[in-house]
Amino acid sequence: MNKHRVDIISPRDASDIDAIKRLCWEYRDFLFAMGPQFEAMINAFYPVEKYQAVLELLETDHVPPLGTLRLALVDGVPVGCGMIQTFDAETRDAEIKRVFLNEGARGLGVGRKLMDTLIQDCRDLGFNRILMDTGVPLKAATKLYLDLGFKLRDEYQEMPEISKGNVIFFEMAL
C-alpha cells in the first residue's frame, strides 16, 4: 500500500490562497458536472460574478474569529479545501462550506482529516453548532458526515425551489 503524507494547513501565503481559490473553482465545475439540475442550482446560488466576489472575500469572511480556511495537501500538493464561516453570531452557529477534494485525493482519508480539522476549528472558535449541506448524489460525503456525528435536519436557510430534493442538510451540536 502506498503511504502518502496528508497535511491540513491554514494558508501560509498568497500561493496557498490561490490554491484554495483554484480548488473552489474546481468544486464549482464538479457540481456543474452532476447534471442540469445542479448546473441550474449553482447558477441560482452562485453565478460567476457572485462566486468570484465570494472568493475575493475568503481572507475576510473565513478568518478567525469569523471562521477559518483550510488547505489539504497530499505529499505537499494542494488537493482539497474547506472553510468555516459564521452563520449566526448571536447563537454562535458556524457553517462549513466548500469542502472539496480533487479526484486523486479521494479514498486516502483526506476528507475525514479535513473535516476533523474543521470541526475542531469550530470548537476552538467557540461555536455552539455547525450547519452544512451537500448534494444528494454525493453519497461518500453524506456517509462521512453522518459517521462524524452530524445529524440530518431540515434546511436552515431560504433555498431556491430548484434545490428541493437535491440538497441534504446537516447539523452538529458542539
* Integer angstrom CA distances of residue 114 from 39, 70, 107: 26, 8, 13
Structural domain boundaries, residue 31: 6-173
* Parallel, antiparallel or unpaired: strands 93-101 and 167-173: unpaired
User: In sequence order, what are the residues at sequence separation of 6 or more whose Cβ sits closer than 8 angstroms to the Cβ of residue 41?
Assistant: 31, 160, 162, 163, 166, 167
Please tell me whether residue 156 adopts helix, strand or coil conformation: coil
Residue 79 falls within a domain, yes or no? yes
pLDDT in tens, 105-118: 998 999 999 999 99
| Tally of domains in the chain | 1
Residue 146 falls within a domain, yes or no? yes
Residue with cell 445529524: 151
Residue 80 falls within a domain, yes or no? yes
The 10 Å Cβ neighbour count of residue 104 is 12
Q: How confident is the model at residue 162 (pLDDT cuts 50, 70, 90)?
A: confident
CATH code at position 143: 3.40.630.30
Residue 1 falls within a domain, yes or no? no
Sheet holding 167-173, edge to edge: 6-9, 68-74, 77-88, 93-101, 129-135, 167-173, 151-153
pLDDT in tens, 109-145: 999 999 999 999 999 999 999 999 999 999 999 999 9
pTM score, two decimals?
0.95
Q: Are 30 and 98 within 8 A, CB to CB?
A: no
